[in-house]
Structure 1
Amino acid sequence: MSNIKPMAHNKIFLSIALTSLLTLSACSDNDTGSMPTPEPEPAPNPTQDYRVTVTNLTANQPMSPMALITHQTRFTPWVTGEAANLTLETLAESGDSAGFANLDGVDALVTGEAALAPGMKQSFDLTLTDSESSSFSLLTMLVNTNDAFAGVNSFSLAGLEVNMIKKFSSIAYDAGTEANSEAKGTIPGPADGGEGFNPIRDDVDRVYAHSGVISSDDGLSSSVLSASHRFDNPVLAISIERLR
């Protein structure tokens, strides 16, 4: 994760391809020379186009590749005060979001191609059909931490009309699955290059607002982080625009 390349723009399509059906009508004995008449093709489902833009507001906390999730209203990626599931724990400790694609209620997962560097911005275009998801979430890890993450938690797309923009700001959350030791070998980002996911849970085992980085410059002598890795809230600015 040390080679961080800002991504200017990703064109992403989430759509359901329609297969044309051709039904041949049976020919009678008196009409053997006539050609079968195909049934009309079904009309394509109307599409909805959205643009999601994310800005990293931190000074020295790269964000893992964005995980954009479209899902049903019953799904929520995290609940503050409750234990993180294994998929959230994996993302918060390593930046790996692949597990979200297999969760019940999730329709599609799209991930960014690169980490989002401090001060940089990324945009993603999404095309959905009317038959697809009604809600949207976004998650990313602050990679120079033990288990901090940020994002959008279950935003309903139903009320977003064409040309409307919804803006969010996200604080940093602590997955509560790994102690914030900041010790060498425990942080996957470029500040350390240590391990990512570890199945052992040695923290409070509930999601809560992250208390921030201490760093070696501020009295934690065993920390591999410096004062530059500290962050204030919010850590992300996010907007969702309905284009069509």
Structure 2
Amino acid sequence: MTIYRNPSKKSAVKILVAASLLLFVSACDDDDEGLMPEPEPMLYRYQVTVANLTNAQPLSPFAVVLHNEGMLWNIGESANDAMENLAESGDNSQVLGLGVALAGVSGEDIIMPGSSETIEISLADAMPTYLSGATMLVNTNDAFTGINGLNISQMALNESISMVMGSYDAGTEKNSELAETIPGPAAGGEGYNADRDDVDFIAAHPGVVTMDDGLAQSVLTQAHRFDNPTIRVTVTRIE
């Protein structure tokens, strides 16, 4: 004959305690999920102030990018398509869209001689290694200036780096100074042209000649001449 026994009181108590513990742990987990939200992403934010130091060379909207590798340009090498477009027309959209760019921001407008603009750019979760920026001197064929691969990885909060920069010749368009080849207000001519008819390497810009200095075909005057430096840039980490 088989005898069925009820669990002892001691066993029943153990079962009840175990069940209570499971419910308590589950409730704690639910509470933890409600009380511990996901942490906010770390934000790295910078201000870039660009001042135009020239007499009569407006600057195209300044392009700022954050990146961990690469350079916008290299002296002695051929300009990439993005920099050619910027240096000939002032269009910075391709620079902002470069594959190495982790973030990119354009200035709002042309920076006139004697004026400045402050641009903010930020990146979440990872501190960027480099900050670069570029702009065209628009009363030229293909002159540009900017900062190239500034290392900002060790910048402390509220720290600033200030520098003055000279100008470069993209080497993609002859410095003819013809009205039809200069897009700025001095001429209102053509901007970007895919054909490269110059030395095809980037170098320090020699400056413009102008009609006042004997270049009869030039649409420029002595007012458009520029010496280095042409811009002052101040980078500040603000977050």
TM-score, length-scaled by structure 2: 0.84
Structure 1 position 132, deviation (Å): 5.1
Counterpart residue number, 2:63: 67
Compare 131-140 and 198-207 and name the one that shifted more: 131-140
Map 1:146-165 → 2, pairs under 5 A: 146-165=141-160
Match of 1:14 in 2: none
- Distance in 2, Cα, partners of 1:80 & 1:93: 17
Q: Which amino acid aligns with 2:97?
A: N
State how far apart, in whole Å, the 2-side matches of 1:130 and 1:156 are.
Answer: 18
In angstroms, what is the RMSD of aligned CA positions? Answer: 1.9
- Alpha carbons 2:104, 2:121 under 8 Å: kept: no
SS in 2 for 1:188: coil
Identity %: 43
Are 1:45 and 1:131, in contact at CA under 8 Å, matched by a contact in 2? Answer: no
**Residue aligning to 2:232:** 237
Worse-superposed segment, 172-181 or 48-57: 48-57
In structure 2, the residue corresponding to 1:193 is in which secondary structure? coil
Structure 1 residues not aligned, in runs of 5+: 1-29
Q: TM-score by structure 1 length?
A: 0.82
Q: What aligned pairs does 1:185-224 form with structure 2 within 5 A after superposition?
A: 185-224=180-219
Alpha-carbon distance, 1:45 to partner: 1.9
Residues 161 and 55 of structure 1: CA distance in aligned 2, closer, same or farther (over 3 Å): same
SS of the equivalent of 2:84 reads: helix
The amino acid of 2:224's aligned partner reads H
Aligned to 2:44, which of 48, 52, 57?
A: 48
1:20-99 paired onto structure 2 within 5 Å: 37=30, 38=33, 40-72=36-68, 74-99=69-94
Larger radius of gyration: 2
CA distance in 1, matches of 2:38, 2:152: 26
Residue-by-residue CA offset, 1:184-224 (whole Å, 9 max, x unaligned): 21000000000000011111100000000100011000000
1:61 maps to amino acid: Q
> Where is the helix percentage greater, Structure 1 or Structure 2?
2
Q: CA deviation at 1:163?
A: 2.4
Instruction: Please tell me whether residue 141 in structure 1 is matched to residue 136 in structure 2.
Output: yes
What residue number does 2:4 align with?
none
Report what 1:18 is aligned to. Answer: none
Matched position secondary structure for 1:118: coil
Question: What whole-Å deviation, never above 9, does each CA across 1:11-37 have from its counterpart, x for those lacking one?
Answer: xxxxxxxxxxxxxxxxxxx98xx9x93
For structure 2, list consecutive stretches of 5 or more residues without a partner in the other structure: 1-21
